[in-house]
Amino acid sequence: MEKSALYHRPDSEMAYLYTKNDFHIRLRTKHDDVQKVELLYGDPYGMKVNEKAQGSWDYQIKEMKVIATTKTHDYWQASVSMPLRRLQYAFHVYGRDGEEAFYDDRHICSYSQAAIDNLAAFRMPYFHEIDRINPPVWVKETVWYQIFPERFANGNKANDPKGTLPWDSAEPTSTNFFGGDLQGIIEHLDYLKDLGINGLYLCPIFYAHSNHKYDTIDYLAIDPAFGDKATFKKLVDEAHARGIRVMLDAVFNHLGDTSMQWQDVIQKGKESRFADWFHIRKFPVSYEKTANNELAKNITYDVFANTPHMPKLNTANPQVQDFLLEIATYWIKQFDIDAWRLDVANEIDHHFWRRFYQATHALKPDFYVLGEVWHSAQEWLSSHEFDAAMNYPFTELISECFVKKTLTASEMVSALNEQLMLYRRQTNEVMFNAMDTHDTARLLTLCQGDQRLQKQILTFMFMQIGAPCLYYGTEVGMAGGYDPGCRACMIWDTAKQNRQMLQFVRQLVHFRRNYAAVLSQGQLIWKLVDDQTGLIILQRKWKEQQITAIFNHSQQQQLLPQTKGQLLFSQGWEQTTKVLKAEGFMILK
């Protein structure tokens, strides 16, 4: 047995309270190295004195089960409940080579009664409900729809900014405007409801200079080109009336350089009352322009990326913290929003996010906080900072396998499982899964226009744990490269829409909604992952429900003589010949 591969970390994603008295414990071992693991567990004060062993531990035994495998590791899990809500535990590990190991908080040694008698157990001293990671239940049943407001729909031409172009009359750029606004979204809420959407994620709507609005001027004002607060209140109320939750985009890492605060710094230098609101290295603040006006060199203050137009806020400053928390709570109190998506969340300090989480949840206990983190988000999701993260590391693996072909199916599944094991089960259930966003090329473009491949990828993503999100226009066949190409005007002309794609996406969204429990909370089982044939078969199980999905990842048709279950929908499946064509899939109940 490879004992150096044994790994457990208490009070983490490897040992956590799932529900009020359901404690999950995980152990990592080397792949295919261990045949059985027993969890030895009991009360920390449950010592007994008997004739056989003075001071022997009074424990119970529960066999652990493998819940995920990767190319290098197996992950085992057991769930336990304790009457007195306190726990100590250790592991009895059976190697395939016949060796038995005992693993506790201080030792990995040969299994023996002496090892048990000298126990230094892992402990969870008490199951504090207030410490439990407890994301909102409603997110598990949500299918999100992301809107870039300037490009979704123009419902009120009276608020069009100067120089607004006719809808979809030109290619999108970083500077042109087409008049999209809040009224346009209101007018299409019934469209979203019919599609099956019950979560609306809006890119920034606050007063800003640009068309993307990530360079905020005033967080407490709706951008005039989008409407006003009365219009936004109507949007939220109308959405709620249709069972649609609303998530706004919080850009708290930086301000726009035309904001009042930054302009005061420019005018007054270190004497400005806002001088400590930013990370300024030298006064007066300055930068040298380059050929690309969005970028610069020799910037004397910290910024987002390399743009001098977005000076970075100092969120360690209590005044800045109070200012941002006032904004975060204002839109909940006054407009009853349901969630914040946090832009560039990984560049802001943890202390502030803990205050942010407490402030928002004090107003609305089932509020959803989503952080933009493009890498492992363990540090934010292991405590009360975010409920979930934008799950780019997870969904990018799907693209690498299905689109780029840089991963085999088995490599993809291994990496997907590794991602799932980074987080508690309840966190995985509400992670934000999207195949494309305003920051990426559109999925159809990544698929090089292959609509069958896009459908296959979307279906595969909708089968995964986590809340799926559609980027506006995906359902009508919109394509587009990276920013600004991915931010084109929504296609509303039905003659230009891909109506077959729209019908398919509607079917897919309603499928996810109808089977929300099994698809968000159910066990994920990879029944077959065959790199030679290209077949991927996965199952989701929850209580009495079971959904099976079969994907043909190859370019060759596959014969499937035996398929069990009621066919819900498919692509490329020929019932008479039992053949699943290339890029085909079938969903069975």
Instruction: Report which residue type is found at 156.
Output: N
DSSP state of 21: T
How far is 51 from 251, CA to CA, in rounded Å? Answer: 66
**H or E segment and range at residue 296:** strand 296-297
The pLDDT value given to residue 48: 54
Report the candidate in 400, 458, 387, 467 with the shortest Cα–Cα distance to residue 432.
Answer: 467
Mean pLDDT on 559-574: 93
Mean pLDDT on 120-125: 94
**What confidence category does residue 58 fall into, taking pLDDT thresholds of 50, 70 and 90?**
confident
Q: Which CATH architecture has domain 523-588?
A: Sandwich (2.60)
The pLDDT value given to residue 47: 67
Contact criterion met (CB below 8 Å) for 200 and 192: yes
Mean pLDDT on 284-297: 85
User: Could you tell me where the DSSP H helices lie in 196-257?
Assistant: 229-241
How far is 137 from 154, CA to CA, in rounded Å? Answer: 34
How far is 191 from 185, CA to CA, in rounded Å? Answer: 10
How far is 338 from 139, CA to CA, in rounded Å? Answer: 10
pLDDT digits (tens, 9 = 90+) for 304-318: 998 999 999 999 999
The pLDDT value given to residue 50: 44
Mean pLDDT on 362-370: 97
Q: Output the six-digit token pair for 572.
A: 């490329």
Mean pLDDT of the chain: 95
Its pTM stands at 0.95
The pLDDT value given to residue 52: 46
Superfamily of domain 3-131: Immunoglobulins (2.60.40.10)
Give domain limits for the chain: 3-131, 137-520, 523-588
DSSP state of 184: H
Helix (H, G, I), strand (E, B) or coil at 417: helix
The pLDDT value given to residue 37: 98
User: Do 3-131 and 523-588 agree at the fold level?
Assistant: yes
Mean pLDDT on 20-41: 97
| For residue 84, pLDDT beyond 80 | yes
The pLDDT value given to residue 53: 43
- What percent of the chain clears pLDDT 70, i.e. is strictly above it? 98
Which residues are catalytic, by number?
Answer: 343, 372
Report the candidate in 475, 471, 479, 472 with the shortest Cα–Cα distance to residue 498.
Answer: 475
- Its CATH class, for the domain covering 137-520, is alpha beta
The pLDDT value given to residue 309: 93
**Tokens 């999925």 found at:** 443
Contact criterion met (CB below 8 Å) for 368 and 341: no
**What confidence category does residue 195 fall into, taking pLDDT thresholds of 50, 70 and 90?**
very high
